[in-house]
Structure 1
Amino acid sequence: KYIDEVARTYTWTPVQSADYSLALVLPPYSKYYIQAKLDDQILQAQYFESLLPSSFETVGHVFIAPREYCKDLVKSNNNTELLLNFINLMDKNTPDYKNCEYSNSL
């Protein structure tokens, strides 16, 4: 299941006035090769495709916290349904869409 075997650096911090923490996990080689610019719609589509439930087994689990990310987002108590609603909303709108304040950071 794993494509590499290396020591990773784990860094986390509590997020002030929130009930969650923010974490970053980096293998040593990513310190030199991380490059991301999600302005390109093809890259955005590839990124959001990795969040689909069908890729959870190979990519990992992604849970979007129940926050008000977008005013147009259809809310759901089911994480899978919420994620699909979010992806559908992002398919219809660009990341700088005025009703979505947080989507650029995901």
Structure 2
Amino acid sequence: MTSSIDRLTIFALLATATLPFAAFSPAEAATAQSCAVQAEQIRSQAEGADPKAAGKALRNVALAEKLCDAGNRHEAGKKFTLASSQLETSVQLADRR
């Protein structure tokens, strides 16, 4: 009886230890998908923006996509935010004319 309890305990400990690793795969897939969605949104905004601002924003989007591929979601988010703000500034200036 004690050997079955020990086996159950060992199995439970192994299952508990592997659960965090199983959760990383869906999270990485969701991160890659959100990077692609953000990139597409900024690219669509850049189509109607000032060409200089659009060029800067698209360069930052390309860099952000590379950062996403490398797994650095935090820095990629910063680049997406920068690209978005570059496009918003040009739109605001056009509205003020």
TM range (shorter): 0.3 to 0.5
Between Structure 1 and Structure 2, whose CA radius of gyration is higher? Answer: 2
The structure with more strand, counted as a fraction of residues:
1
**Could you tell me the TM-score, scaled by structure 2's length?**
0.36
Q: TM-score, normalised by structure 1?
A: 0.33
Query: In proportion to residue count, which structure has more helix?
Result: 2
